[in-house]
Amino acid sequence: MGNNVSGFKIIYRKEVRIMTKPQTISVTAPAEEEFPKEKYDELEQFIDGMETTKGALIEILHKAQGIFGYLPRDVQLFIARKLGIPGAEVFGVVSFYSYFTTKPRGKHTISVCMGTACYVRGADKILEKMKEKLGIESNEITEDGLFTLKDVRCIGACGLAPVVMVDDKVFGRVKVEEVDDILNQYRK
């Protein structure tokens, strides 16, 4: 038995793993379309433009996250089909790396640095205050869709510890009392 179920010999498709060229088959965008077709087109163009897709999954995911903002199931499956690899493999990589996210992001991303330097200067208290003020946990989005809260590892501004970053703007030497002021700047 085993490999010989009902007379058919199962051939393991080894070539799938060494596929080096983007697939020529047409891949249709998912049925439940949340994103405009242009976004999928942009991603498809990027993949088609690659010399080889061997070992390029992470690069493609970076690009996809850049286009879509996050990596929902449909986008992951789209990439899997395009590369001719199992969806599980794509999901395996997406879930492994903390940089990739499968949840949509708020309008502003608040990153509280939890590197060691910030931690010993009280970053944990800042994070707690943020959670309390926003009513969410880390990696969640507020109800109004305005903020996503993240705790990140060291953004390298240790001289200013503790540090909070909202989108690209860095707030240094943050005190717990200042949390409200920071949030209000983005709440207009």
Partner 1 sequence: MQIKSLEELRKIKEDYKDKVKLRSQNEEAGDHTEILVGMATCGISSGARETFQAFVEELSKEKMDDTKVITVGCVGYCHSEPTVQVIIKGQKPVLYGNVKKERVHEIIEKHIKGGQPVERLILSTDFETI
Partner 2 sequence: MEKMRMNVLICSGTGCMASESEKVIKNLEAIIKARGFANEVEVVKTGCFGFCEQGPIVKIEPDNVFYVRVGPKDAKEIVDEHIVKGRRVERLLYKDPKENKPISRQEDMQFYKKQLRVALRNCGFINPEDIYEYIAAGGYEALGKALLEMTRDEVIEEIKASGLRGRGGGGFPTGLKWEITKKQESEVKFIICNADEGDPGAFMDRSILEGDPHSVIEAMAIGAYAIGADKGIIYIRAEYPLAISRLTTALKQAREAGLLGKRIFDTDFNFDIDIKYGAGAFVCGEETALINSCEGKRGEPNYKPPYPAQEGYWGHPTCVNNVETFANIPVIITKGAQWFASIGTEKSKGTKVFALAGKINNVGLVEVPMGVTLREIIYGIGGGIQGGRKFKAIQTGGPSGGVLTEKDLDAQIDYDSLLAVGSMMGSGGMIVMDETDNMVDIAKFYLEFTMDESCGRCTPCRIGTKRMYELLNKITSKKGTMADIDALKQLAYMIKDGSLCGLGQTAPNPVISTMKHFWNEYMDIIKDVDHPQGEGRYVPKNKIGMKS
- Positions touching partner 2 (CB under 8 A) are 54-59, 61-62, 92-93, 96-100, 114-117, 119-121, 124, 152-156, 158-159, 161
Q: Which entry of partner 2, partner 1, none binds 170, CB below 5 to 8 A by partner kind?
A: partner 1
In terms of CB distance, is 161 or 174 closer to partner 2?
161
CA-CA distance, 167 to 178, in Å (whole number)?
Answer: 17
Q: How far is the CB of 20 from partner 1 (least distance, A)?
A: 32
Q: Which of 56, 58, 158, 166 binds partner 1 (CB under 8 A)?
A: 158
Rg (CA), the chain: 21
Q: Closest distance between partner 1 and the C-beta of residue 27, in Å? A: 39
| Rounded Cα gap, residues 120 and 107, in angstroms | 30
* Contact between residue 171 and residue 180 where contact means Cβ atoms under 8 Å apart: no
> Residue 61 binds what, of partner 1, partner 2, none (CB under 5 to 8 Å, by partner type)?
partner 2
Residues binding partner 1 (CB under 8 A): 155-160, 163, 165, 170, 172
